Amino acid sequence: MTTQTARINIQRGAPGDPARIESYQVPYREGMSVLDALIWIRANRDASLAVRYSCTNANTCKECLVEVDGKAAYACTARLGRQPVTVAPLGNKKLIRDLVTDTAPPKETLRYALGEG
């Protein structure tokens, strides 16, 4: 039996870098989420990939908001399919790195605690 795979393209880079797309092939199982794929890539291909998430399965932490094929979506509820998907950071938020944007409430950051604004 051949293992099914899916392809996922990820926009990566730090602020100021030219954005680059990296493409990964991941083992596929029916119903798997974009977040499942990102976690698999971090564990098995490139641990330096930056993505914000916490609850993983429940869609209650609401931390994993990214753009999937150009639309804002939670990575945990967006699904992988036969067609490759492209994941990018939110376009309307300040980029931190890779898929992570500045989604923390402004008064809940170290910057604010230090009086750095």
Partner 1 sequence: MSHLSTDILVVGAGGAGMYAAIAAARGGARVVLADKSLIGRGGATVMAQMTVAVALGEQEPDHWTHHLADTLDAGRNLCNEELAAILCREAPERIREMDQWKVGWARADGHLTQAMAPGHKIRRCVYVDFLNTGPAVAKTLRSQVARHDAIVRVGGLSITDLVRDDGRVVGAVGIDMETGRSVTIAAKAVILAAGGLTRLYRRNSASANMGGAAFALALTAGAELIDMEFVQFFPIGHLAPRLVGMDPIMWDPFRYKLGGRLLNGRHEEFIHNYGASDSGTYTVSRDVASFAILSEVAAGRGSPAGGAYLSFEHIAEADLRAAFGPVIDRLLANGIDLTKRAIEVSPIAHYHMGGIRVNGEMATNVAGLYAAGEAVGGANGANRLSGNAISEAFVFGERAGRFTAAWAAGQTMRWDDDLARAGVAAIRAVEEGEVSAQTAGIGPIFGELQEMMWDKVGLLRDQAGLKSALARLRQMRELDLPALAPGRRDPFALAVQDWFDLRAGLIAAEAITLSALARQESRGAHQRDDFPASDPAWEVNQVVRLVNGVPTVERRAVVRGSFELAPLAAAQ
- Given candidates 2, 3, 48, 83, which one binds partner 1 under the rule CB under 8 A? 48
- Given candidates 76, 85, 87, 88, which one binds partner 1 under the rule CB under 8 A? 76
**Rounded to an integer, what is the distance from CA 55 to the centroid of its chain?**
14
Alpha helices for the chain (secondary structure H): 34-44, 110-113
Distance CA 19, CA 70 (A): 15
Q: Which helix (H) or strand (E) holds 30?
A: none
Sort strands 5-12 and 20-27 into parallel, antiparallel or unpaired.
Answer: antiparallel
Q: Which is nearer to partner 1, 44 or 91 (CB)?
A: 44
Range in contact with partner 1 (rule: CB under 8 A) among 2-10, 18-26, 97-105: 97-105
Judged by the rule CB under 8 A, the positions of this chain that interact with partner 1 are: 14, 29-33, 36, 42-63, 74, 76-77, 79, 96-98, 100, 102-105, 107-111, 113-114
